[in-house]
Structure 1
Amino acid sequence: MGRCKGSHIGPSTLQRLGEVIILLELVVPSITMMVELVRIQYKLVKDFMRFKTSGFEDCESNFHEVDLESIFGRCFLTTRLRCIGRFYQLNGRINFFSCKGPIWDFSIFYQLGNEIDYSTFENRLVYPTFHYNSDSDDNKGDLLRVKVNKLSSTKTQLPYSYYSLPYCHPGHIVDSAENLGEVLRGDRIENSPYVFKMREPQMCNVVCRLTLNAKTAKEFKEKIDDEYRVNMILDNLPLVVPLRRPDRESSLVYLHGFLVGLKGQYAGNKDEKHFVHNHLTFIVKYHRDPVTEMSRIVGFEVKPFSVKHEYDGGWDNTTRLTTCDPHAKKLVSGSEPPQEVEDKKEIIFTYDVEFQESNVKWASRWDSYLLMADDQIHWFSIINSLLIVLFLSGMVAMIMLRTLYRDISKYNQLETQEEAQEESGWKLVHGDVFRPPSNSDLLCVYVGTGVQFFGMILVTMIFAALGFLSPSNRGGLMTAMLLLWVLMGLYGGYSSARLYKMLKGTEWKRIALKTAFMFPATAFAIFSVLNALIWGQRSSGAVPFGTMFALVFLWFCISVPLVFLGGHFGYKKPVTEDPVKTNKIARQIPEQPWYMNSLFSILIGGILPFGAVFIELFFILTSIWLHQFYYIFGFLFIVFLILIVTCAEITIVLCYFQLCSEDYRWWWRSYLTSGSSALYLFLYAAFYFFTKLEITKPVSGVLYFGYMLLLSYGFFVVTGTIGFYSCFWFIKLIYASVKID
Structure 2
Amino acid sequence: MKPLNWFRLVFSFIAVTAVCGFYLPGLAPVNFCEEDKITSDCQLHIRSRSLLQNEIQLFVNRLDSVESVLPYEYDVFDFCKDEKEKRSSENLGQVLFGERIETSPYKFKFRKDESCKKVCTKTYDTSNKKENVRLDFLKRGVELNYQHHWIVDNMPVTWCYAVEDGQNYCNPGFPIGCFVTFDGRSKDACVISSGFNKKNTYYLFNHVDITITYHSEESESWRGARLVSARLEPKSIKHNSQENSQSCDGPPMDIPKETTGILNVTYSYSVKFEEDAQEESGWKQVHGDVFRAPQSGMLLSVFLGQGTQIFIMTFITLSNRGALMTCAVVLWVLLGTPAGYVSARMYKSFGGEKWKTNVLLTALLCPGIVFADFFLMNLILWVEGSSAAVPFPTLVALLALWFGISVPLTFVGAYAGFKKTAIEVPVRTNQIPRQIPLQSFFTRPVPGIIMGGILPFGCIFIQLFFILNSIWSHQMYYMFGFLFLVFIILLITCSEATILLCYFHLCAEDYHWWWRSFLTSGFTAVYLFIYAIHYFFSKLQIQGAASTILYFGYTMIMVLIFFLFTGTIGFFACFWFVNKIYSVVKVD
Equivalent position to 1:530, from 377, 381, 402: 377
Structure 2 residue 457 is matched with structure 1 residue 600 = no
Give 1:495 deviation, angstroms: 0.5
Residue 331 of structure 2 aligns with which residue?
Answer: 484
Residue 294 of structure 2 aligns with which residue?
Answer: 437
Q: Distance in 2 between matches of 1:556 and 1:573?
A: 25
Cα distance change on mapping 1:609 and 1:574 into 2, 3 Å: same
Q: Distance in 2 between matches of 1:687 and 1:581?
A: 48
Q: Distance in 1 between matches of 2:388 and 2:501?
A: 44
Give 1:407 deviation, angstroms: 7.5
Give CA deviations for 1:336-384 in whole Å, capped at 9, x if unaligned: xxxxxxxxxxxxxxxxxxxxxxxxxxxxxxxxxxxxxxxxxxxxxxxxx
Residue 178 of structure 1 aligns with which residue?
Answer: none
Residue 516 of structure 1 aligns with which residue?
Answer: 363
Give 1:19 deviation, angstroms: 5.7
Q: Distance in 1 between matches of 2:317 and 2:277?
A: 49
Give CA deviations for 1:572-618 in whole Å, capped at 9, x if unaligned: 12234210000111111111011111000000000011111111111
Cα distance change on mapping 1:480 and 1:514 into 2, 3 Å: same
Structure 2 residue 512 is matched with structure 1 residue 698 = no
Structure 2 residue 473 is matched with structure 1 residue 626 = yes
Structure 2 residue 431 is matched with structure 1 residue 584 = yes
Q: Distance in 1 between matches of 2:420 and 2:224?
A: 35
Q: Distance in 2 between matches of 1:420 and 1:683?
A: 51
Structure 2 residue 282 is matched with structure 1 residue 425 = yes
> Does the 8 Å contact 1:444/1:500 carry over to 2?
yes
Matches within 5 A, 1:401-412: 412=225
Structure 2 residue 562 is matched with structure 1 residue 715 = yes
- Larger relative CO (CA 8 A, sep 6+): 1 or 2? 1
Cα distance change on mapping 1:725 and 1:422 into 2, 3 Å: farther
Give CA deviations for 1:1-41 in whole Å, capped at 9, x if unaligned: xxxxxxxxxxxxxxx9x969x9xx89xxxxxxxxxxxxxxx
User: Which one-letter code corresponds to 1:489 in the other structure?
Assistant: G
Give 1:461 deviation, angstroms: 0.8
Give CA deviations for 1:636-680 in whole Å, capped at 9, x if unaligned: 111101111111111100000000000000000000000000000
Equivalent position to 2:486, from 629, 633, 639: 639
User: Which one-letter code corresponds to 1:560 in the other structure?
Assistant: V
Cα distance change on mapping 1:486 and 1:420 into 2, 3 Å: farther
Larger Rg: 2
Equivalent position to 1:459, from 304, 308, 316: 316
> Does the 8 Å contact 2:427/2:586 carry over to 1?
no
Cα distance change on mapping 1:650 and 1:422 into 2, 3 Å: farther
Matches within 5 A, 1:271-420: 412=225, 415=228
> Does the 8 Å contact 1:509/1:567 carry over to 2?
no
Q: Distance in 2 between matches of 1:544 and 1:664?
A: 50
Q: Distance in 1 between matches of 2:482 and 2:582?
A: 37
Give CA deviations for 1:114-161 in whole Å, capped at 9, x if unaligned: xxxxxxxxxxxxxxxxxxxxxxxxxxxxxxxxxxxxxxxxxxxxxxxx
> Does the 8 Å contact 1:590/1:662 carry over to 2?
yes
Give 1:527 deviation, angstroms: 1.1
Q: Distance in 2 between matches of 1:624 and 1:454?
A: 21
Cα distance change on mapping 1:577 and 1:543 into 2, 3 Å: same
Cα distance change on mapping 1:682 and 1:411 into 2, 3 Å: farther
Give 1:425 deviation, angstroms: 0.5
Structure 2 residue 544 is matched with structure 1 residue 686 = no
Give CA deviations for 1:238-276 in whole Å, capped at 9, x if unaligned: xxxxxxxxxxxxxxxxxxxxxxxxxxxxxxxxxxxxxxx
Residue 391 of structure 2 aligns with which residue?
Answer: 544
Stretches of structure 1 that go unaligned for 5 or more consecutive residues are: 1-15, 27-402, 470-475
> Does the 8 Å contact 2:529/2:559 carry over to 1?
yes
Residue 502 of structure 2 aligns with which residue?
Answer: 655
Residue 569 of structure 1 aligns with which residue?
Answer: 416
Give 1:416 deviation, angstroms: 6.4
Cα distance change on mapping 1:528 and 1:421 into 2, 3 Å: farther
Cα distance change on mapping 1:519 and 1:648 into 2, 3 Å: same
CA RMSD of aligned residues (A): 2.9
> Does the 8 Å contact 1:509/1:564 carry over to 2?
no
Give CA deviations for 1:391-443 in whole Å, capped at 9, x if unaligned: xxxxxxxxxxxx9xx97779955756999879611001000000000000000
User: Which one-letter code corresponds to 2:536 in the other structure?
Assistant: F
Residue 669 of structure 1 aligns with which residue?
Answer: 516
Q: Distance in 1 between matches of 2:384 and 2:306?
A: 33
Matches within 5 A, 1:77-92: none
> Does the 8 Å contact 2:426/2:586 carry over to 1?
no
Q: Distance in 2 between matches of 1:714 and 1:424?
A: 39
Q: Distance in 1 between matches of 2:461 and 2:471?
A: 15
TM-score if structure 2 supplies the norm length? 0.54
Give CA deviations for 1:547-593 in whole Å, capped at 9, x if unaligned: 11011111111111111111011111223421000011111111101
Q: Distance in 1 between matches of 2:498 and 2:230?
A: 29
Give 1:525 deviation, angstroms: 1.1
Residue 237 of structure 2 aligns with which residue?
Answer: none
Give 1:739 deviation, angstroms: 3.2
Q: What SS class does the counterpart of residue 562 from structure 2 fall into?
A: helix
Give CA deviations for 1:43-78 in whole Å, capped at 9, x if unaligned: xxxxxxxxxxxxxxxxxxxxxxxxxxxxxxxxxxxx
The percent of aligned pairs where both chains have the same amino acid is: 53
Q: Distance in 2 between matches of 1:607 and 1:420?
A: 40
Q: Which has the higher helix share?
A: 2
User: Which one-letter code corresponds to 1:550 in the other structure?
Assistant: A
Give CA deviations for 1:199-256 in whole Å, capped at 9, x if unaligned: xxxxxxxxxxxxxxxxxxxxxxxxxxxxxxxxxxxxxxxxxxxxxxxxxxxxxxxxxx
> Does the 8 Å contact 2:345/2:423 carry over to 1?
no
Q: Distance in 2 between matches of 1:635 and 1:407?
A: 46
Equivalent position to 1:615, from 462, 468, 473: 462
User: Which one-letter code corresponds to 1:727 in the other structure?
Assistant: C
Count of residues in correspondence between the two structures: 336
Cα distance change on mapping 1:601 and 1:407 into 2, 3 Å: farther
Q: What SS class does the counterpart of residue 591 from structure 1 fall into?
A: coil
User: Which one-letter code corresponds to 1:433 in the other structure?
Assistant: V
TM-score if structure 1 supplies the norm length? 0.43
Q: Distance in 2 between matches of 1:727 and 1:509?
A: 28
Q: Distance in 2 between matches of 1:600 and 1:412?
A: 40
Q: Distance in 1 between matches of 2:545 and 2:417?
A: 46
Cα distance change on mapping 1:685 and 1:408 into 2, 3 Å: farther
Equivalent position to 1:557, from 397, 401, 404: 404
User: Which one-letter code corresponds to 2:431 in the other structure?
Assistant: K
Q: Distance in 2 between matches of 1:557 and 1:656?
A: 43
Q: Distance in 1 between matches of 2:570 and 2:327?
A: 26
Cα distance change on mapping 1:637 and 1:478 into 2, 3 Å: same
Cα distance change on mapping 1:526 and 1:692 into 2, 3 Å: same
User: Which one-letter code corresponds to 1:713 in the other structure?
Assistant: L
Structure 2 residue 353 is matched with structure 1 residue 496 = no
> Does the 8 Å contact 2:301/2:346 carry over to 1?
yes
User: Which one-letter code corresponds to 1:654 in the other structure?
Assistant: L
Stretches of structure 2 that go unaligned for 5 or more consecutive residues are: 1-23, 29-87, 93-214, 232-275
Runs of 4+ in 1 over 4 A off after TM superposition: 406-423
